[in-house]
């Protein structure tokens, strides 16, 4: 299936294939992330209500769970739409990635079904299980780990698309006997998997919490009864603070995420940091926009937390922690060693200060009620989730033809085919962040050359390379003659070998087996 050689067009989509996938992907992610947050918040409310013997928390939990059930199905259907869209618009990519991660996807699907069933039973049998409250809370609490398992799986696949890591150079799914069918461990546990998972985990808790707080804020606006208003205020404040605590972890995780990306997805990193490629669309740098919104959220959260910390009756986030994170966040680009640090710094500071002032004004206007801040934070949080997902996808290098041009249709070839030529892209980039060698570089003493440990014989190569994954005993015990297939598969699993080295190993092992048989 060589689309490139055939130069055949793909199915066309109004606005472009990228747009449709981007739209569906962001739509799905924003809903799915919300569902994860909702599940967690519902459990918190239920536990608090049970411990305090306060039915109002349980009622609030049920209302949130009803919304959860409703939006969950929208997320599910979106996922189906995404599958169909990818099948038609990116057939090669989709078939390939499915071949590579089929069993992963099946596990994800099983979790999906278990989740849907548990969620349904949890909500629709709320009253029926009233006499078994602990069991009911446990059932609801199961949703969060199930969501996370499901979300780990998707993170494995989507982070692979950004940083293929070990699989990047070696694996070709179309290489015949070496093809990976169904499960690719090295690709799944790629360099950014951990950071993406951590980042999304904290972000989902924050986003879900802010959204619930926003819903409480809207309910406060809509309610006429003071008693109910007070009640939604309490619920909103609790969930807002939980969300903000989770939110404070994000700049730290984000820093290390960016750091990993710098080494394993250099061009994507550059695109993000200096605003290149599809990160800039419609003349707007969406990464920067997202960061400014995050700064505004920090400003709003800081003001709210400061006000809340003065009350002795409610749980409050320690203010030194909030101040520390704010300062660290503002120093983000300094830490990354980027050129635009000061512009970013002042822009972020302005966004944070303005949002903080506005937050203060809103809280004063409503006599200390956080309703407006809740709603505002919910909106900003939704925007950051959408923009975060967008820029991650948009940061990947654009794909080019073998001649180094962008042509219609060719931008739908996945990264790990041979069509992507990073060297051609690098020529056209203005690497402003690379300052070149300092003047004194030549005067520095040279680092001594390390002695090379080049393996010389085939036996050495076998010892050095094979033992990194398994013992040599496995090789000795294998009596088959199809060493080319076996070694080919090992390459597909990630063992780095040149063709010459592979040939050496295959010949050596085949001869050794033959010799043993003769003896």
Partner 1 sequence: MNLPVIETPVFPRWVWIEEITYSHIPIATTITAFMLLAPLFEYVGFRRHDPRWERLSKSFIWFSLILFSPGAALGTGIPMFIIGTYPEFWSRWANLFFWPLMVQFMFFLAEVFFLFFLYYLTWDRWKNRKPLHISMGVCAAFFGYMVQVVWDSLGSYMLTPGGVPLPQVDEPVGFSLQAALNPSFPFLLSHRTFGNFSYVLLLTGGVLALRYMSQKRKNPSSENTIYFGWAADTCFTIGFLCFFAQPVIGWFYARVIQREAPVAFMAIMGGHSSTHFIIKMVMILTLLTIGGTFVIKRHSNKLMAWGITAGLLVILVIIQVHPPLMWLGGSALAWRVVTTAAILGFIGWIWLCRGKTDPKRPAWQWAMFAVGLAAFLAFAMGGFVREHSKSPDTVYGEIVKPELTDTEADRYLLYDKWLKPRNEMPEDLVRKRPESWRAKVEQARRDGLELTDDQAERIIRYLEENY
Judged by CB under 8 A, does residue 383 bind partner 1?
Answer: no
Q: Which helix (H) or strand (E) holds 284?
A: strand 284-285
Which residue has 């349980």 as its token pair? 58
Residue 162, classed as helix, strand or coil, is: helix
- Binder among 15, 16, 124, 431 for partner 1 (CB under 8 A): 124
Q: What angle do CA 395, 18, 428 make, to 5 degrees?
A: 45
Q: Which is nearer to partner 1, 178 or 308 (CB)?
A: 178
C-alpha distances (whole Å) from 440 to each of 192, 338, 431, 433 are 35, 21, 21, 19
Q: How far is the CB of 127 from partner 1 (least distance, A)?
A: 12
Binding mask 171-200 for partner 1 (x = CB under 8 A): --xx----x-xx------------------
Question: Are the C-beta atoms of residues 147 and 36 closer than 8 Å to each other?
Answer: yes
Where on the phi/psi map is residue 436: left (φ > 0), alpha (ψ -120 to 50), or beta? Answer: left
Per-residue burial over 293-306, b if 16 or more Cβ lie within 10 Å, else e, is bbbbbbbbbbbbbb
**Sign (positive/negative) of CA torsion 479, 481, 487, 488?**
negative
CB of 230 to partner 1, least distance (A): 24
Stated as kind and residue range, the H or E segment containing 384 is helix 371-394
* Closest by CA position to 266, among listed 494, 93, 415, 422: 422
Of residues 25, 84, 30, 5, the one with CA closest to residue 378: 30
Q: Minimum distance from CB of 424 to partner 1 (Å)?
A: 25
* Minimum distance of partner 1 from residue 93's CB (angstroms): 11
Q: Using the rule CB under 8 A, which residue among 48, 74, 331, 350 binds partner 1?
A: 74
Q: Is 335 in the site for partner 1 (CB under 8 A)?
A: no
Q: Are strands 284-285 and 280-281 parallel, antiparallel or unpaired?
A: antiparallel
Tell me how far, at minimum, the Cβ of 121 lies from partner 1, in Å.
8
Among 54, 81, 331, 412, binds partner 1 (CB under 8 A): 81
CB of 36 to partner 1, least distance (A): 15
CB-wise, 158 or 192, nearer to partner 1? 158
Residues 19-58 vs partner 1: string with x where CB under 8 A?
A: ----------------------------------------
- CA 100 and chain centroid, separation: 19
224 binds partner 1 (CB under 8 A): no
For partner 1, which residue of 94, 189, 252, 259 counts as binding (CB under 8 A)?
94
Among 102, 221, 345, 508, binds partner 1 (CB under 8 A): 102
Q: Which is nearer to partner 1, 106 or 334 (CB)?
A: 106
CA angle in degrees (0–180, nearest 5) for 297-239-291: 15
The answer to the question of residue 73 lying near partner 1 (CB under 8 A) is yes
SS3 128: coil
Q: Phi/psi zone of residue 165: left (φ > 0), alpha (ψ -120 to 50 degrees), beta?
A: left
169 binds partner 1 (CB under 8 A): no
Name the one range near partner 1 by CB under 8 A: 98-106, 139-147, 476-484, 485-493: 98-106
CB of 25 to partner 1, least distance (A): 14
Residues near partner 1 (CB under 8 A) are 1, 3, 6, 8-12, 66, 69-70, 72-74, 76-81, 83-85, 87-89, 91, 94-95, 98-99, 102-103, 105-106, 109, 112-113, 115-117, 119-120, 124, 173-174, 179, 181-182
């Amino acid at each position: 299936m060589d689309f490139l050689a055939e130069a055949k067009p793909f199915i066309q989509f109004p606005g472009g294939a990228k747009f449709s996938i981007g739209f569906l992907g962001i739509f799905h992610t924003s809903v799915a992330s919300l569902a994860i947050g909702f599940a967690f918040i519902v459990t918190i409310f239920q536990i608090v209500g049970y411990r305090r013997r306060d039915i109002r928390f349980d009622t609030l939990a049920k209302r949130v769970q009803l919304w959860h059930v409703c939006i969950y199905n929208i997320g599910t259907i979106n996922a189906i739409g995404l599958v169909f869209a990818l099948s038609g618009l990116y057939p090669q990519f989709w078939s390939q990635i499915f071949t590579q991660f089929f069993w992963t996807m099946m596990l994800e699907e099983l979790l999906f079904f278990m989740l849907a069933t548990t969620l349904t039973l949890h909500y629709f049998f709320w009253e029926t299980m009233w006499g078994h409250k602990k069991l009911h809370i446990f059932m609801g609490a199961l949703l969060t780990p199930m969501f996370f398992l499901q979300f780990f799986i998707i993170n494995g696949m989507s982070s692979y698309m950004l940083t293929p890591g070990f699989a990047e150079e070696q694996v070709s799914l179309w290489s015949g006997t070496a093809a990976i069918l169904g499960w690719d461990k090295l690709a799944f546990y790629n360099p950014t998997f951990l950071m993406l998972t951590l980042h999304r985990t904290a972000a989902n808790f924050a986003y879900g919490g802010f959204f619930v707080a926003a819903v409480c804020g809207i309910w406060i606006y809509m309610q006429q009864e003071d008693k109910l208003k007070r009640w939604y205020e309490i619920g909103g404040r609790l969930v807002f603070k939980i969300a903000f605590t989770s939110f404070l972890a994000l700049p730290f995780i984000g820093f290390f995420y960016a750091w990993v990306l710098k080494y394993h997805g250099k061009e994507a990193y550059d695109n993000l940091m200096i605003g290149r490629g599809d990160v800039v669309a419609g003349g707007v740098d969406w990464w920067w926009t997202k960061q400014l919104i995050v700064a505004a959220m920090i400003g709003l959260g800081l003001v709210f937390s400061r006000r809340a910390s003065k009350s002795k009756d409610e749980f409050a986030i320690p203010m030194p922690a909030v101040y520390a994170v704010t300062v660290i966040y503002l120093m983000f680009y300094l830490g990354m060693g980027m050129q635009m640090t000061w512009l970013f710094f002042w822009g972020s500071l302005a966004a944070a200060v303005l949002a903080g002032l506005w937050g203060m004004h809103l809280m004063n206007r409503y006599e200390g009620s956080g309703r407006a801040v809740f709603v505002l934070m919910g909106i900003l949080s939704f925007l950051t989730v959408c923009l975060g997902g967008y820029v991650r996808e948009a940061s990947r290098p654009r794909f080019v033809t073998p001649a180094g041009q962008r042509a219609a249709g060719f931008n739908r070839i996945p990264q790990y085919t041979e069509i992507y030529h990073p060297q051609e892209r690098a020529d056209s980039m203005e690497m402003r962040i690379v300052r070149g060698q300092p003047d004194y570089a030549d005067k520095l003493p040279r680092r001594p050359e390390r002695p090379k440990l080049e393996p010389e014989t085939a036996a050495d190569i076998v010892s050095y390379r094979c033992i990194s994954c398994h013992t040599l005993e496995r090789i000795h015990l294998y009596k088959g003659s199809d060493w080319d297939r076996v070694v080919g598969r090992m390459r597909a699993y990630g063992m780095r070998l040149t063709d010459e080295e592979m040939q050496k190993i295959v010949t050596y092992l085949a001869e050794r087996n033959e010799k043993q048989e003769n003896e």
